Amino acid sequence: MATIQDVARDAGVSTATVSRVFSAPGLVLEATRNRVMEAVNRLGYEPNFAAKSLRTLRTEKILVTVPDISNPFFSQVIRGVEEAALAAGYSVLLGDTRHEEAREEQYAAMFRRKEADGLIFLGHRLPDVLADMVAAKGPKTPIVNGCEFRPGLAVSSAHIDNERAAAEAMDHLYGLGHTRVGVVTGPLASPISSDRLAGALSAAQRHGRASALRIAIGDFSIESGVRQTGELLDEPGRPTAIFCFSDEMAMGALEAIRQRGLTCPDDVSLVGFDDIRFAQYLHPQLTTVSQPKEQIGHEVVRMLLDILAGRTTALQNVTLPHRLIVRSSTAPPRS
Amino acid sequence: MATIQDVARDAGVSTATVSRVFSAPGLVLEATRNRVMEAVNRLGYEPNFAAKSLRTLRTEKILVTVPDISNPFFSQVIRGVEEAALAAGYSVLLGDTRHEEAREEQYAAMFRRKEADGLIFLGHRLPDVLADMVAAKGPKTPIVNGCEFRPGLAVSSAHIDNERAAAEAMDHLYGLGHTRVGVVTGPLASPISSDRLAGALSAAQRHGRASALRIAIGDFSIESGVRQTGELLDEPGRPTAIFCFSDEMAMGALEAIRQRGLTCPDDVSLVGFDDIRFAQYLHPQLTTVSQPKEQIGHEVVRMLLDILAGRTTALQNVTLPHRLIVRSSTAPPRS
DNA sequence: CGCTCCGATGTAATCGAAATCATCGATAAC
DNA sequence: GTTATCGATGATTTCGATTACATCGGAGCG
């Protein structure tokens, strides 16, 4: 591949002029610019990224780590991230951490090696080396979080009000007349789960149904939805409604309901969370809490770009609107 | 961030020694090595990626472009890619092209700028600049394709035998006694669709049912599944079985079937393609053609690494095994 | 007419690590 | 005892672009 030297020689100018043709075309005479561009086309020149990056100390890349890309919720968020990043001239480096700390560390090291200008993490953990970095540099550290919000982590974040959203989902079920409700959470280490659980609990208390609330701890996977819902349904005093903290677990819940010869929503009402693309095509169509997935992606990139541009002085915490979407998987309990 | 110079000064050695501690630890005395490592830890040094990459002309990155990451089929393939890449010390740069040529070109330019050592494209188009590169450098060009195989494109590729797979799916339907079968394809510009269609046609002919075959052209999306299946069902002489070229379209087909008050598989049998994670949790559980998604990812990375290591002289075309998975969405037609 | 200023371009330092070549002391070989 | 050899390390060049600074010719001004 041709270098800037080759182009300069071919066009009969200095390398500085070639460089200017790309970064500040206004500074170079049109005739010269044309000569340079001809040489560029003739030689098929593309500026070498590593050289540029070394000199400018910028990569124009954003590293995004996600616990699981094959999860439709995250892949939608990532789409939003990618869209906003590309619009700002950044590209996306994707890291699937598979919920494994080792991989999180690996990507943290990449970030420290300056393979990306900024980091967006969609999980709930921040490796120590990066936490140290945040502690040292404060809110100007180009690290932001999406979806999970933990006050202890001093990074900006975009997310919904998980507690309130969960409470609304429970209100919907109690409003339909359900009294025995089962909840299938994700791992409680993540704020996303603990916040939602807090919301569910407070709603249960408000409705005087706290003692009838059953809680099972899943891991957001379909399989755990099958398993945990199964356990809830097999207990004496079977719940008439189940609230899963992800749509995938709700898909599993549907399976568990069917396996027992029960029907949704006639025997058991079901509420999911996320409103993934498939939720409305399930049978019955799934009542769920919709998160503005792509918008979370946009916001998170916006905050990061603010930091990178030096426009930020304080942490930002953006709470985006959620919406309970009532479809046909919820109904009043059989009397 | 500390540089190699800082470490060298701190440890009282030259930069060359520090560099060797990382790239060839055996060459440096243990005592020296320890002194260097202490300095590294004390200063929190990480080698700067751009500098390393400039000097070695390698990035240890693989660029993967995909038409749509939010598609569970692709996200599984990507998982496989990521896993194999990481195991070999490479990281993945993800490009979601959204089926748009402009974005494909954008990522092609990134590749030419040497932002990645190799390119894996999961779509069916290769931008001109890259096709030129392939034409010039032949099979040693570090570009490989996954899923789609077009003989004209002189790049290595890993994929299933789409034609045969589709034929088997049709055989299954004809074997159950169906005579009027409808097929919902993807865009015919992609080999993935045209090959499957060829397989479906040949099976229909073999069974003497070519004249009763109905074809609708979708775009792999759920919505197009609803629409195209709807059209097939509304024609006179309604098909008793539908074969969709993706599971997502099959989800849409289920919806179209239900909208018309019909039942699957009693009134209409349904076969999908891909065996995405959700296929077995639909109701009814979806009969579908399973592709070895992660394995495709692994193979494609293996081929690329072969090229990068100079082990390759000729094109490779790997055909991986598919499997028809019969679940409960197919049954004999109502007599 | 001489001086300043400006626009266009060139010269050269610089970014941080890798790699080649040089150095030096010690050991082994003859 | 002299010399080739080797192991450990240092000095220096190099990768390819950006950019601060230098240069130079011409326009504008007094």
Model pLDDT, residue B171: 98
Q: Exposed, middle or buried: residue B278 (CB in 10 Å: 0-12, 13-18, 19+)?
A: buried
Residue B134 is classified by DSSP as H
Minimum Cα–Cα distance from A252: chain B residue: B281
Radius of gyration of chain A, Cα coordinates, nearest whole angstrom: 25
8 Å CB contact between B242 and B253: yes
Shortest CA to C1' contact from B3: nucleotide: C16
Q: Does B46 touch chain A (CB under 8 A)?
A: yes
Answer yes or no: is pLDDT of A49 > 90: yes
Model pLDDT, residue B294: 96
Residue B258: C-alpha distances to residues A285, B52, B241, B248 (Å): 12, 59, 14, 16
Model pLDDT, residue B149: 80
Res. B70 pLDDT band, cuts 50 70 90:
confident
Answer yes or no: is pLDDT of A324 > 80: yes
Model pLDDT, residue A1: 78
Q: What is the 3-state secondary structure (H, E, C) of chain A?
A: CCCHHHHHHHHCCCHHHHHHHHHCHHHCCHHHHHHHHHHHHHHCCCCCHHHHHHHHCCCCEEEEEECCCCCHHHHHHHHHHHHHHHHCCCEEEEEECCCCHHHHHHHHHHHHCCCCCEEEECCCCCCHHHHHHHHHHHHHCCEEEECCCCCCCCCEEEEECHHHHHHHHHHHHHHCCCCCEEEEECCCCCHHHHHHHHHHHHHHHHCCCHHHCEEEECCCCHHHHHHHHHHHHHCCCCCCEEEECCHHHHHHHHHHHHHCCCCCCCCCEEEEEECCCCHHHCCCCCEEEECCHHHHHHHHHHHHHHHHCCCCCCCCEEEECCEEECCCCCCCCCC
Q: Quick check: B31 CB within 7 A of strand D?
A: yes
Entry pTM: 0.91
Res. B228 pLDDT band, cuts 50 70 90:
very high
User: Checking DSSP bridges between strand A287-290 and strand A323-325, what pairing results, if any?
Assistant: antiparallel
Of B1, B82, B277, the CB nearest to A222: B277
CA distance A75 to B71: 8
Model pLDDT, residue A312: 85
Helix (H, G, I), strand (E, B) or coil at B258: helix
Residues contacting A16, CB < 8 A, separation 6+: none
Residue B269: C-alpha distances to residues A325, B227, B335 (Å): 31, 17, 13
Residues contacting B14, CB < 8 A, separation 6+: B8
Q: Looking at the DSSP assignment, which residues form a beta bridge with residue A272?
A: A288
Answer yes or no: is pLDDT of A94 > 90: no
DSSP of B43-103: HT----HHHHHHHHT---EEEEEES-TTSHHHHHHHHHHHHHHHHTT-EEEEEE-TT-HHH
Answer yes or no: is pLDDT of B316 > 90: yes
Q: Of B66, B82, B64, nearest to B74 (Cα)?
A: B66
Q: Quick check: A13 CB within 7 A of strand C?
A: yes
pLDDT digits (tens, 9 = 90+) for A59-92: 999 999 999 988 999 999 999 999 999 899 898 8
- The kind and range of the H/E element at B255 are helix B247-259
Q: Does A11 touch chain B (CB under 8 A)?
A: no
CA distance A73 to A66: 11
Answer yes or no: is pLDDT of B335 > 80: no
Residue B266: C-alpha distances to residues B119, B209, B240, B284 (Å): 46, 21, 9, 11
Q: Of A70, A73, A92, nearest to A81 (Cα)?
A: A92
State both tokens at B272. Answer: 């999908």
Answer yes or no: is pLDDT of A335 > 80: no
The gap between B29 CA and C25 C1' (Å) is 15
Answer yes or no: is pLDDT of B296 > 80: yes
Q: Quick check: A109 CB within 7 A of strand C?
A: no
CA distance A45 to A8: 11
Model pLDDT, residue B265: 97
- Mean pLDDT of the B242-255 span: 98
Q: Quick check: B16 CB within 7 A of strand D?
A: yes
Are the Cβ atoms of A282 and B282 closer than 8 angstroms? yes
Model pLDDT, residue A293: 97
Q: Of B290, B279, B203, nearest to B241 (Cα)?
A: B203
Q: Look at A89-98, B152-161, B215-224 and tell me which has the smallest mean pLDDT.
A: A89-98
For B234-306, list the strands marked E by DSSP.
241-244, 269-274, 287-290
Q: In this complex, which residue's CA is closest to the C1' atom of nucleotide D20?
A: A16
Res. B95 pLDDT band, cuts 50 70 90:
confident
Res. B93 pLDDT band, cuts 50 70 90:
confident
pLDDT digits (tens, 9 = 90+) for A95-117: 889 899 999 998 999 999 999 99
pLDDT digits (tens, 9 = 90+) for A151-206: 788 999 999 999 999 999 999 999 999 999 999 999 999 999 999 999 999 999 99
Q: Of A75, A323, A277, nearest to B278 (Cα)?
A: A277
Answer yes or no: is pLDDT of B164 > 90: yes
Helix (H, G, I), strand (E, B) or coil at B15: helix
Model pLDDT, residue B56: 93
Q: Does A54 touch chain B (CB under 8 A)?
A: yes
Q: Give the helix, strand, coil percentages of chain B, each rounded to 5.
A: 50, 15, 35
Q: Does B249 touch chain A (CB under 8 A)?
A: no
User: Checking DSSP bridges between strand B156-160 and strand B317-320, what pairing results, if any?
Assistant: parallel
The distance of Cα B79 from the centroid of its chain, to the nearest Å, equals 9
Q: Quick check: B50 CB within 7 A of strand D?
A: no
CA distance B285 to B334: 19
Q: Looking at the DSSP assignment, which residues form a beta bridge with residue A121?
A: A65, A145
Q: Is B23 left (phi over 0), alpha (psi -120 to 50) or beta?
A: alpha
pLDDT digits (tens, 9 = 90+) for A268-317: 999 999 999 999 999 999 999 999 999 999 999 999 999 998 888 899 99
- The kind and range of the H/E element at B234 are helix B222-234
Chain A residues within an 8 Å CB radius of B53: 49-50, 53
Q: Does A135 touch chain B (CB under 8 A)?
A: no
Instruction: Write out which nucleotides of chain C lie closer than 7 A to a protein Cβ.
Output: 8-12, 14-20
Chain A residues within an 8 Å CB radius of B115: 49, 91
State both tokens at A207. Answer: 């409705």
Q: Quick check: B321 CB within 7 A of strand D?
A: no
CA distance A59 to A51: 10
**How many residues in total does chain B contain?**
335
Of B50, B76, B92, the CB nearest to A70: B76
At residue A134, what are phi and psi to the nearest 5 degrees? -65, -45
- The kind and range of the H/E element at B156 are strand B156-160
Model pLDDT, residue B94: 84
Q: Of A246, A278, A244, A245, nearest to A264 (Cα)?
A: A244
CA distance A228 to A222: 10
Model pLDDT, residue A146: 96
- The kind and range of the H/E element at B167 are helix B162-175
**Average pLDDT taken over every residue of chain A:** 94
State both tokens at B292. Answer: 């070895």
Model pLDDT, residue A185: 98
pLDDT digits (tens, 9 = 90+) for B98-146: 899 999 998 999 999 989 999 999 999 999 999 999 999 899 999 999 9
Q: Of all residues in chain A, what percent carry a pLDDT higher than 90?
A: 88
Residues contacting B46, CB < 8 A, separation 6+: A109, A112, A113, A114, B1
